[in-house]
Amino acid sequence: MTSPVAGSTDFRTSWSGVVSVDVTVDLSSCVIRQRAAWARERMLGENSHLVTHYRPIVPEFVGTRWEYRDMCGRYATTTNPARLAADLDAIDETGAADARTFTSYNVAPTTQVLTVVRRHEHGHPDDEPKLRVRRMRWGLIPVWTKVAEPGVPVKGKPLFNARADKAATTASFRDAVKYRRCLVPMDGWYEWLVESAGNGKAVKHPYYMSNADGSRLYMAGLWSVWRDRALPDSDPLLSCTILTTDSVGELTNIHDRMPLPMPEEHWDAWLDPDHPAPASLLETPDAAAVAGIAVRPVSPLVNSVKNNGPELLAPLADTADTEQAGQISLL
């Protein structure tokens, strides 16, 4: 089994004029070259000296093929559903007897997560829609998913991310884009910077992104309702996905993609259950949208979903650890 052809490159120029090179790596022969010298010579010519950093985009073997894994795939939340509902003047519909149910420092796809929707009271479509805090499975299950056994959908690849620029035309998401949009609250999210280990292997260094002032983040999401039609009285299965977009600002130094933030001034339009959202809300925001995001390297303990504690958020202690984690100078 071979990976995509080595040598595919993508060049971007940052605001400072420094060129960053993304290199698609041939994992079958572990071709990872420091500073991508061949790319400098072939693509940049006399400007090759401008290359100060390169970040290989490393595909992962999934099922029967190599894939480029999108993000956001892990995040942290310490949000209490009752507190969240109180902060937003919303109705808590989670039914959580223990607030700790939704506290996780390593949220992974297929787990139950908190979402915020705006809906009419059931059976009263003319009433004013209200904000509601709901629990949903992270990994959207399309309504047309077949039944594996009574009340259980066929297990497929978790749709935990949806590209904002393609969701409206993608079969799994297009209906949700029209009328089932949500917010996914979080404290912050993780992303991995992939670099060469210098021995023909790639290594991943985890970073944590959160608001510098510690305030809660709200990301744009879509949700779905799945039912076994043979069991009309059974409880529906609610599931969601997080929309992603091109990274902007300093976040481009960590990953090409980021979750799509949804500012509070756009919540009314985004959560409107009766009208499609303006197309502009699905566009990549400008760098100002992430100006308050702090980025820090964290422990590789987060690599395993078995680890789940506040120590995952702690910044690496000293300079040596920071360099080992692959920290880069954010442009």
- pTM score: 0.76
Q: How sure is the predictor about 98, in pLDDT bands with cuts at 50, 70 and 90?
A: low
Q: Is the pLDDT of residue 292 over 70?
A: yes
Q: Which two tokens stand for residue 119?
A: 């809906």
Closest-CA residue to 24 (of 36, 8, 42, 37)? 8
Question: How far is 147 from 240, CA to CA, in rounded Å?
Answer: 19
Which residue would you say has higher pLDDT here, 100 or 188?
188
Q: Please report where in the chains the tokens 């120590």 appear, as a residue.
A: 311
Which residue would you say has higher pLDDT here, 4 or 183?
183
User: Residue 99: its pLDDT value, please?
Assistant: 64
For residue 267, the number of C-alpha atoms closer than 13 Å in the C-beta half-sphere is 18
The mean predicted confidence, pLDDT, of the chain is: 78
For the chain, what percent of residues have pLDDT higher than 70?
72
User: Residue 199: its pLDDT value, please?
Assistant: 79
Do residues 244 and 188 make contact, with C-beta atoms less than 8 angstroms apart? no
218-234 pLDDT, tens digit per residue, is 999 999 999 999 998 88
User: Residue 97: its pLDDT value, please?
Assistant: 61
149-195 pLDDT, tens digit per residue, is 998 999 888 899 999 999 999 999 999 999 999 999 999 999 999 88
Domain ranges of the chain: 75-313
Average pLDDT over residues 244-262: 95
Q: Is the pLDDT of residue 246 over 90?
A: yes
The one-letter amino acid code at 86 reads A
Q: Is the pLDDT of residue 68 over 80?
A: no
Pick the CATH number of 75-313 from 3.90.1680.10, 3.40.50.300, 3.30.365.10, 1.20.1530.20: 3.90.1680.10
User: Residue 71: its pLDDT value, please?
Assistant: 60
Pairing of strands 130-138, 237-246: parallel
User: Residue 195: its pLDDT value, please?
Assistant: 80
Q: Is the pLDDT of residue 43 over 70?
A: no
Per-residue H/E/C for the chain: CCCCCCCCEEEEECCCCCEEEEEECECCCCECCHHHHHHHHHHHHHHHHHEEEEEEECCEEECCEEECCCCCCCEEECCCHHHHHHHHCCEECCCCCCHHHHCEEEECCCCEEEEEEEECCCCCCCCCCEEEEEEEEECECCCCCCEEECCEECCCCCECEEECCCHHHCCCCHHHHHHCEEEEEECEEEEEEEEECCCCCEEEEEEEEEECCCCCEEEEEEEEEECCCCCCCCCCEEEEEEEEEECCHHHHHCCCEEECECCHHHHHHHHCCCCCCCHHHHCCCCHHHHCCEEEEEECHHHHCCCCCCHHHHCECCCHHHHHHCCCCCCC
Average pLDDT over residues 26-46: 33
User: Residue 119: its pLDDT value, please?
Assistant: 95
123-134 pLDDT, tens digit per residue, is 788 889 999 999
Average pLDDT over residues 249-254: 93
Q: How sure is the predictor about 59, in pLDDT bands with cuts at 50, 70 and 90?
A: very low
For residue 80, the number of C-alpha atoms closer than 13 Å in the C-beta half-sphere is 7
User: Residue 102: its pLDDT value, please?
Assistant: 83
106-128 pLDDT, tens digit per residue, is 999 999 999 999 999 887 888 89
Average pLDDT over residues 8-12: 34
